[in-house]
């Protein structure tokens, strides 16, 4: 789990470097908001993500009001899914649905964030 955390921190640093200026969306904030779910997305979190995740998801959704913000969030989470090879796509894709939070994209390393 320590290697996963180090990888997570590395990903956050990379995403901070590649974010385009002008967006109100913050990849580091998004990663912090969904960090409690990392165990769930790799299959170690039981049937549902931790309860604090629900608030993090709602905060993430409210932090992406514009199309450019949603694309930035999509790219951020896509990068996270690609960086952590242990993330299970089906579990990551179910995160928004678990708490009935509406998001226009899913968490997947294969998603096209331009559409």
CATH number for the domain harbouring residue 17: 1.10.110.10
Residue 113 lies in a domain: no
Residue 19 lies in a domain: yes
**Measured at the alpha carbon of residue 16, what is the angle toward residues 18 and 2, in degrees to the nearest 5?**
120
Answer positive or negative: Cα dihedral of 47, 97, 101, 70: positive
Tens place of pLDDT per residue across the chain (115 aa): 566 655 665 655 565 555 455 546 788 888 888 887 777 788 876 777 666 666 777 788 888 888 888 899 899 988 888 887 778 888 887 777 777 777 878 788 888 999 8
pTM above 0.75, yes or no: no
Residue 112 lies in a domain: no
Number of domains the chain is built from: 1
Burial 39-64 (b: 16+ CB within 10 A, else e): ebbbeebeeebeeebbebbeebbebb
**Measured at the alpha carbon of residue 12, what is the angle toward residues 53 and 26, in degrees to the nearest 5?**
70
Q: Which residues constitute the domain of residue 45?
A: 2-98
Residue 107 lies in a domain: no
């Amino acid at each position: 789990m320590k290697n996963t955390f180090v990888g997570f921190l590395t990903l956050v640093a990379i995403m901070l470097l590649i974010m385009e200026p002008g967006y109100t969306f913050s990849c580091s904030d998004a990663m912090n908001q969904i960090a409690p779910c990392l165990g769930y997305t790799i299959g170690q979190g039981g049937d549902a993500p931790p309860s604090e995740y629900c608030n993090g998801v709602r905060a993430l959704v409210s932090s992406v009001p514009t199309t450019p913000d949603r694309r930035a969030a999509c790219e951020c989470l896509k990068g996270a899914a690609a960086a952590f090879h242990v993330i299970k796509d089906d579990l990551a894709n179910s995160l928004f649905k678990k708490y009935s939070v509406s998001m226009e994209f899913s968490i997947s390393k294969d998603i096209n964030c331009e559409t």
